[in-house]
Amino acid sequence: MDATVWTELARTHELSARFTQVQHRAILKNPLTSTGTVHFTRPQTLDWLVETPTRSSFTLKNSIATMSYPELGMTDTIDLASVPDASRLATSLLVWMQADGAAVERDFRVTYGDGSAHLAPRDPQLQKLLSGIDIRVAANPYRVTGVTLLEPAGDSVNITFSDVVLK
CA 78/CA 67 separation, integer angstroms: 9
Contact yes or no for 59/44 (Cβ under 8 A) = no
CATH superfamily of 4-166: Lipoprotein localisation LolA/LolB/LppX (2.50.20.10)
Residue 7 is classified by DSSP as H
Q: Can you give the pLDDT at residue 99?
A: 83
Q: Cα-Cα-Cα-Cα dihedral of 5, 154, 81, 41, to 10°?
A: 40
The residues, any chain, with a CB within 8 Å of residue 149's CB and separated by 6 or more, are 93, 130, 133, 156, 157, 159
What is the mean pLDDT for each group of 10 consecutive residues in the chain (167 residues)?
84 92 94 96 87 93 89 89 75 77 89 94 88 92 92 94 91
Q: Can you give the pLDDT at residue 158?
A: 96
Backbone angles phi, psi at 7, to 5 degrees: -65, -45
Q: Cα-Cα-Cα-Cα dihedral of 31, 123, 67, 40, to 10°?
A: -90
Q: Can you give the pLDDT at residue 10?
A: 84
Other C-beta atoms within 10 Å of 125: how many? Answer: 10
CA 34/CA 22 separation, integer angstroms: 7
Q: Can you give the pLDDT at residue 69?
A: 92
- Going from N- to C-terminal start, the domains of the chain cover 4-166
Residue 55 is classified by DSSP as -
Contact yes or no for 36/51 (Cβ under 8 A) = yes
Q: Can you give the pLDDT at residue 115?
A: 92
